[in-house]
Amino acid sequence: MDMQRIMLRGKLHQARVTHAELNYEGSCAIDQDLLDAVNIREYEQIDIYNIENGERFHTYAISGERGSKMISLNGAAARKAAVGDRIIICAYAPMSEQQIESYDPNLVYLDAGNNIVRTSKNIPLQLA
């Protein structure tokens, strides 16, 4: 039996919401440069975690204007965060035990202007 685990594939950490468009077709528009950096494809399912209010929800990514630094929550998702909120955007993928052995996620850390400040392949060990 080839068991699969759902593993973190990519993360945009502390992205800032730049737009909340209730009457736009639902999704999350993300600057194409940021999508490329984290290797998230347009229409891929993403999870969003709002640091400010604890909201956690699923939606899908759509391409935002390249170089715009846009993070736009659209449709129902616009009710889950306000412009300026810090969010974490994650994508996951099923992987076999064999794939996991040699896999590292794409971690992209952003500043308050949604500029990439660093990238990583692992999260540091949390100490007590």
Annotated binding site: 59, 75-77
Q: In 1-128, which ranges are E strands?
A: 4-16, 19-21, 27-31, 45-50, 56-64, 71-74, 86-96, 106-110, 116-120
Instruction: Tell me how far apart the alpha carbons of residues 123 and 78 are, in angstroms, rounded to a whole number.
Output: 29
- Residue positions in the annotated binding site for substrate? 59, 75-77
Give bridge partners of residue 7 from the DSSP assignment: 93
Respond yes or no: is residue 60 known to be catalytic: yes
Respond yes or no: is residue 43 known to be catalytic: no
Instruction: Tell me how far apart the alpha carbons of residues 83 and 88 are, in angstroms, rounded to a whole number.
Output: 14
Burial 52-67 (b: 16+ CB within 10 A, else e): eeeeebebebbbbeee
Catalytic-role residue among 24, 43, 49, 60: 60
Catalytic residue positions? 27, 60
